Amino acid sequence: MHDQANEMLKTDAGAMPRDGAGGIVSVWGDRLMSSSLTVRTLFCAALLVLVAALDTSTGSEISFSIFYLVPVSFAGAYISRRAGVILAVASAAVWGYLEFTTGRGYSAAWIPYWNTAVRLGFFLLVNELIERLRRAHATQRALAREDSLTGIANARVFEEYAQRTLLASRRNGRPFTLAYVDLDRFKHVNDEFGHSEGDKLLRVVATLIADGVRSTDVVARLGGDEFGILMPDTEAEPARMTLDRIAVALHDAVGTRWAVGATVGAVTFTRSPKDVDSAVHQADELMYRGKAQGRGRIIHETWPAEIDGSSSS
Beta bridge partners of 58: none
Residue type at position 313:
S
Q: What is the dihedral of CA 74, 78, 81, 83, to 10 degrees?
A: -70
* CA–CA dist 298, 310 (Å, integer): 6
Using H for helix, E for strand and C for coil, what is the string for 214-259?
CCCCEEEEEECCEEEEEECCCCHHHHHHHHHHHHHHHHHHHHCCCC
Query: Which are the catalytic amino acids?
Result: 225
